[in-house]
Amino acid sequence: MGSRIEILNEAGFRSDGRRQYELRDLTIDLSRHGEADGSALISHGLTQVLVSVHGPREAKMRSHTFHDRANINVEVVVASFSTGERRKRMRGDKRVLEFASTIKSTFEPVVKTSLYPRSQIDIYVQVLQQDGSTLQACINATTLALINAGIPMNDFVCAVTGGVHSTSPMLDLSTLEENDIPHVTVAVMPKTKKVVLVTMETRLHVERFEEILNLARDAGKILHQEMKEAVLSRASSLVAMGEPITKGQKADDDVIMD
Amino acid sequence: STISKAESSYIQVGLCSDPALRPDGRALTDFRAVSLETGTAPLANGSARLSIGRNPHDGSGGTEVLAATKLEVETIEDGGEDKGRVVCTVTCSPAAYPQLSNNALEDLQHDLTTIVHTTLSHPSLHPENLKIIPGKKSWLLNLDLVILSDAGNVYDALFMAARAALYDTKVPRTRFVEYKAKKRGPAGGAGEGMDVDDTATEGTSGFDTRQRKHAMDFELLDYWDEGEPLDGRQRWPLCVTLNLVPGAHFLDATLVEEAVAAVRVLVIYAFEAPHVPVVQGMRMLGPGEVTSSQLKTLLKDAEAHARNIFAGLDAKLKEEDVRRNQKASESFEQR
């Protein structure tokens, strides 16, 4: 590779052609996957995550239940071919377990678990492709899957990654940017404006930190709009499917037999 | 899955009757709709996403398998072989088997991996173009299969997805790069103060007149070229699962139908040339028994079924090839 890749050039463009605060292409697919109660397939650019939710249902292990609320169980599987370099992750991989426990602690205060004592809510996260901001994608997909499953929550949880390149803050980082600049993942509840998760593994100057935190909260609101729209369109298509068809009116998949 | 005796008997009576009746109205040898897309993982060298019996309207249900191949360079010291290696792994997503515990899931993964790996890594199927530098480096081809959901007939789905991903795989073209030590001399500017690698001349005596190749490394011919197709892409086998009930066999069983079949016979067929069928593997699953004369007829039937599946899959793979390569270059030229 010849030229050096600039994280942010003088014209204000990033390495993939985006502007500083621009988020990647977001696609949300809420169609039902397998036998899950709720599922969501989300992609932020090239990062793709599929989350399936089963529950609330009877717990597999009685010892893991609580008498007054539901137990949330999160399992994360990262596909070996998800990154540029093949990396086989065993089930008990510490990194993956930490990931799962981060997601669990993010959703525990948000899901109304007290409505389902002694039961279990299983969240299965399957990371299909990784191009940066994996945790962001997992949290957004989990929110949508839980909503799709009809599990009551206090609010949406919208996550976004923010990073700072010398003094310029940026949002929704790709792998190239994540490897280069300090970054933080922030998950917010847009209506109540509360922050549910802040996680950072790099070092960032404290003056930059507040700036990026506020930016990430605003970005969370934008994501909330997109997610709400996706949920509404899914709900309206479900309602439309349930409506009785008047005689003689042809729907998309009907075959007229003589 | 476990079903009650009443339901099991109900389905079995339907399957054994004449004409045979299946819960979803299919004939005994009818497959559910199979959908295939190649190139779903752009970071992999070859990939495919296959689903059997997925509801076309809301995308729910069905058996869904993702397959991806990744090529890694392996040195002989790290366990590689001159001609390269093929390693297959099957992962079951916990979402596909929500009722299984982690240990049961690991066991299932192991069983599926064993069947797929022992069949596909067999020397008779080994592709020719996995060599890089004989004696030093070769390609290790990792085939990863992920089961995203299971609604029955997972073995057929695994082998179909594997074949599609392997068909789609491109191996980067490489060439040797030879390093030769510069000759020290009064005219050579490199002589002073510069360390020239002398290992090329170490250990050789003046009497050694052999021409020794010093190819130490390789380079990619073209960084942006994906490469040539993996050799033997027509040879990869397909699996036909014959589910047996007394007096009949049926294909593409759903989960409840699988619970009804006393024994399942997996026959893995490869077609080297259009009319030369080769059995690459065979397994029997379940507590039932099969007589050897029954087995003979089953093998013949399986061959006929395998031909049909091959024809269908190949047609789709060629269509996908056209969609991704030809059409892409056509739309590029039109810009």
CATH of B5-179+216-334, one of 3.30.230.70, 3.90.580.10, 3.40.50.300, 3.20.20.60: 3.30.230.70
Does residue A13 lie in a domain region?
A: no
Look at residue B186 in the predicted model and tell me its pLDDT. Answer: 45
Kind and range of the H or E element at B245?
strand B238-245
Decide if A5 is inside a domain.
no
Better-scored residue on pLDDT, A62 or A92: A62
In B, minimum Cα distance to A50 occurs at B148
Q: How far is A188 from chain B (nearest CA, A)?
A: 27
Amino acid at A155: D
- Using DSSP's 3-state secondary structure scheme, residue B243 falls into strand
Please give the pLDDT value at position A257.
63
pLDDT at site B212: 53
H-helix segments, chain B: 5-16, 102-120, 154-168, 255-260, 292-321, 327-334
- C-alpha to C-alpha distance for B225 and A160, rounded to whole angstroms: 35
Q: Does a structural domain hold residue A107?
A: yes
The reply to whether residue A129 touches residue B91, judged by beta carbons under 8 angstroms, is no
Closest-CA distance, B210 to chain A, in angstroms, reads 38
| CATH classification at residue A228 | 3.30.230.70
How far is the alpha carbon of A76 from chain B, nearest alpha carbon, in Å? 9
- 10 Å CB burial of residue B224 (0-12, 13-18, 19+) is exposed
Instruction: Kindly list the residues from chain A whose CB atom is less than 8 angstroms away from the CB atom of residue B98.
Output: 35-36, 54, 122, 124
Q: How many domains does chain A have?
A: 1
pLDDT band, very low/low/confident/very high, at A53 (cuts 50, 70, 90)? very high
Contact flag B68-A126 (C-beta cutoff 8 Å) = no
Percent of chain B with pLDDT over 90: 56
Does pLDDT of A22 surpass 50? yes
Instruction: Give the range of the structural domain holding residue A198, as residue numbers without chain letter.
Output: 26-257
Nearest to B47 by CA among B292, B259, B320: B320
Q: What mean pLDDT, rounded, does chain A reach?
A: 90
Instruction: For residue B149, list chain A residues with Cβ-Cβ distance below 8 A.
Output: 33-35
Neighbours of B319 (CB within 10 A): 12
Total Cβ atoms within 10 A of residue B67: 32
* Candidates B58, B106, B254, partner chain A, best to mutate (most A CBs within 10 A): B58
Q: Does residue A50 belong to the interface with chain B, where contact is any CB pair within 8 Å?
A: yes
Q: How far is residue B61's CA from residue B56's CA, in Å, rounded to a whole number?
A: 10
The chain B residue lying nearest A53, using CA atoms, is: B95
What local confidence, expressed as pLDDT, does residue A5 receive? 83
Say if the Cβ atoms of B95 and A34 lie within 8 Å. Answer: yes
Give the three-state DSSP class for B48: strand
Query: Which three-class secondary structure state does DSSP give residue A165?
Result: strand
Cα–Cα distance for residue pair A81/A64, rounded to 1 Å: 33
Residues B6-10: contacts with CB within 8 Å, 24+ apart? B7/B256, B8/B259, B8/B260
A25–chain B Cβ distance below 8 A for any pair: no
Helices (H), A17-169: 94-107, 134-148
Chain A residues within an 8 Å CB radius of B89:
80, 88
pLDDT by residue for chain B (335 residues), tens digit each? Answer: 678 999 999 999 999 998 999 999 999 999 999 999 999 988 899 999 999 999 887 778 899 999 999 999 988 888 778 888 999 999 999 999 988 888 999 999 999 999 999 999 999 999 988 888 888 888 999 999 999 999 999 999 999 999 999 999 999 888 877 766 655 444 433 434 444 444 444 555 556 555 555 556 778 877 777 788 888 888 999 999 999 998 899 999 999 999 999 899 999 999 887 778 999 999 999 998 899 999 999 999 999 999 999 999 999 999 998 888 777 777 777 76
Interchain pair B70, A86: CB under 8 A: yes
8 A C-beta contact, residue B242 and residue B302: yes
Write down the pLDDT at residue A232: 96
Residue A1 lies in a domain: no
Chain B positions in Cβ-Cβ contact with residue A75 (cut-off 8 Å) = 94
Question: Residues A52, A70: contact at Cβ < 8 Å?
Answer: no
Q: What is the pLDDT of residue A208?
A: 87
What pLDDT is recorded for position B200? Answer: 47
pLDDT tens per residue, range A88-142: 877 778 999 999 999 999 999 999 999 999 999 999 999 999 999 999 999 999 9
Is residue B146 within 8 A of residue B27, CB to CB? The reply is: no
Inter-chain touch A33–B148, beta carbons under 8 Å: yes
Q: Which residues of B touch A (CB under 8 A)?
A: 41-44, 47, 56-62, 64, 66, 68-70, 72, 89, 91, 93-96, 98-99, 101-102, 106, 142, 144, 146, 148-151, 223
Task: Please answer yes or no on whether B62 and A34 come within 8 Å at the CB atom.
Answer: yes
Helices A94-107, A134-148: axis angle to 10 degrees equals 50
Distance CA A229, CA A73 (A): 28
Which residues in chain A have their CB less than 8 angstroms from residue B43's CB?
Answer: 81-84, 129
The complex's ipTM works out to 0.88
Q: pLDDT of A189-207, one tens digit each?
A: 999 889 999 999 998 888 8
- Interface mutation vs chain B, best among A81, A89, A103, most B CBs within 10 Å: A81
Q: Identify which of B47, B69, B93 has the shortest CB distance to residue A124.
A: B93
Considering the entire predicted model, what is its pTM? 0.87
Residue A3 lies inside a defined structural domain of this protein: no
Quote the distance between the C-alpha of residue B142 and its chain's center.
9
pLDDT at A233 over 70: yes
Whether A77 is in a domain gets the answer yes
Look at residue A3 in the predicted model and tell me its pLDDT: 63
C-alpha R_g of chain A: 20
Half-sphere CA count of A116, side-chain side, radius 13 A: 20
Distance, CA of B31 to CA of B78 (rounded, Å): 44
